[in-house]
Structure formats: structure tokens, C-alpha cells
Amino acid sequence: MKYILANWKMYLDNAESLSLAESLADVAVESEKTVVLFPSTLAFSQVKWALQDSSFLLGAQNVAFSPRGAYTGAVSAEIFYSAGARYALVGHSERRHIFGETDTAVRQKMQACFEAGIIPVLCIGETQEDTQAGKRQYRLKQQLSAVFSQLEAPIGSFLLAYEPVWAIGSGESCLPADVSDVHGFLQDEMKQYTKQPVPILYGGSVTKENVVSYTSLSEVDGVLIGGASTTVESFSRILELV
Ligand code: PGA
């Protein structure tokens, strides 16, 4: 199974999201692929509606840590589930670095997803400074342990996305050989937390030009794509290639 995840971030307005969804509705998704779109929260239901007869699945770009309550502006995993979301991104580097999301918040959101029946996609990755200081493995270990050594909910299904912070939206993707090494390391590292196999995706400046260099690797179970998933021309080509 190869996962192809499309994080539309805040790139598209409502009409653009709907138009992209309508164009994708005609694109066939083979059974060995799981394709999940992460539209804006506002466009979520319209996109869901436009793709109701297709095999595309939908996910939340972000969820609140609590199922219900007085949390102005927030949308919970439970509410997303009720609107048809089956996946959620958790700990995306933009949430960690721009919105100051802490390891504790990331853990709480993972827990909230498990409780709501949503499959979380835990995003982890080192910064450029970590790499220069030889701390890549240290950072990844620390981000995993912050979540899995203290989880209260039983661990449900989840995906891991390795996304080096410096590769996201920069046009500077990680070398496939390095991605292979890191994924091997993460597979070993996850054994202490769960017996279930964990699909590991790569993300960071994936394009139609380089996608196959990642998806052809046995250690890579799929890709998380931002910018290149926001036009029908680029994303449908990626779906053909993978
Ligand atoms: P990018 O984003 O493909 O635009 O680099 C990836 C991500 O943020 O998940």
C-alpha cells in the first residue's frame, strides 16, 4: 500500500478548493493506493461532498486536543470525524514552529485522534541547525519519545511522516538515500513503542519530477505533499506516477 497525502495548507480559497476537488473526482485511484486530501477546515464539507463517489479520503490539517468544549476557533478530532475525516495531520512542522505547538500538545492531539477513531499522521523532522550539529537522530528520537512514552490512550493505527523542516516548501528535497537511512532508523526506533508495523511517509518538496525517487524505495510507504498537491495538473500526474 502506498499513501499519497495532499496537504493543501492555506493555499486555496473555497472556490479553488472545490474546483480542484471536482477536477480530481474523475481521476481513478487504484486499490493499492490510499489518497488522502487535507483541505482547509472551511472547504472540508464541500470537498467531501464533491468527492463522495470517489476513492479519495479526507483528513484534517489540525485538530484540537479536546473532543468538545469552550475552545473558540478550534475544531476537534471528534467533530472532524463526524464530518467525514478519517485522518489528521499532527505535529506538522508549521504547527510546531509557527504556532508554537509543544510536544505535550502534539501528544494530546495524537491521543484525541485515537479516541475519536481518526488515524493520525505524526509529522516529525529535524531543523537545519539540528543537522549541522549532528543531532538529526537525537531530534527524531526525542519527538517520538515525547509522544509515545507518555500516551494514555491505547495506541491505534497511525502513520509517521518524516519531514525535515528545511525541506518543507523550500524546493530543497532530502536525498532519497538519506530518506532510506532515516526511515530504517525510524522503523527500528518504533519497535520499542508498538508491535504493529508503522507506515512511514516522506514529505518535503516532493514534486512530480522527484516523487518516484521516494516511492520506489522499499522503506518509503508514501509521501506527504504540500505545494505540488494544489494543482490538478501536478497532483494528477503524481497519482499516475506512484
Ligand atoms: P511541501 O510541503 O511539499 O510544499 O514541501 C510538505 C508538507 O508541508 O507536508
Average pLDDT of 15-32?
A: 95
Q: What is the pLDDT of residues 91-122, one digit of tens each?
A: 999 999 999 999 999 999 999 999 999 999 99
Residues in contact with ligand 1 (CB, 6 Å cut-off)? 7, 163, 168-169, 203-206, 224-228
Q: Would you say residue 184 has pLDDT above 80?
A: yes
In contact, 17 and 38? CB cutoff 8 Å? no
What separation in Å is there between the alpha carbon of 173 and the centre of ligand 1?
A: 10
1 pLDDT band (50/70/90 cuts)?
Answer: confident
pLDDT at residue 157, rounded to an integer:
93
Percent helix, strand, coil in the chain (nearest 5)? 40, 15, 45
pLDDT at residue 150, rounded to an integer:
87
Average pLDDT of 6-26?
A: 97
pLDDT at residue 232, rounded to an integer:
97
Q: What is the pLDDT of residues 120-171, one digit of tens each?
A: 999 999 999 999 999 999 999 999 999 999 887 778 899 999 999 999 999 9
Taking CA atoms only, the protein residue closest to ligand 1 atom 7 is 226
Q: Would you say residue 230 has pLDDT above 80?
A: yes
Q: Which atom of ligand 1 is nearest to the CA of 173?
A: 5
8 pLDDT band (50/70/90 cuts)?
Answer: very high
When mean pLDDT is compared across 27-31, 86-90, 165-169, the lowest value belongs to 27-31
In contact, 154 and 133? CB cutoff 8 Å? no
Separation between Cα atoms, residue 50 and residue 2, nearest integer Å? 23
pLDDT at residue 209, rounded to an integer:
98
Catalytic residue chosen out of the listed positions 78, 92, 101, 126: 92
Q: Helix or strand or coil: residue 72? A: coil
Residue to substitute in 98, 206, 230 for testing ligand 1 pocket (most ligand atoms within 8 angstroms of CB): 206
198 pLDDT band (50/70/90 cuts)?
Answer: very high
Q: What is the pLDDT of residues 60-84, one digit of tens each?
A: 999 999 999 999 999 999 999 999 9
Q: Which atom of ligand 1 is nearest to the CA of 206?
A: 3
Burial status of residue 92 (CB atoms within 10 A of its CB: 0-12, 13-18, 19 or more): buried
Which grid coordinates are listed for 213?
A: 525517487
33 pLDDT band (50/70/90 cuts)?
Answer: very high
What separation in Å is there between the alpha carbon of 168 and the centre of ligand 1?
A: 5
| Buried/exposed code over 107-146 (b: 16+ C-beta within 10 A; e: otherwise) | bbbbbbbbbbebbbbbbbbbbeebeeeeebeebbeebbeb
Taking CA atoms only, the protein residue closest to ligand 1 atom 6 is 226
Mean pLDDT across the chain = 96
Active-site residue flag, 163? yes
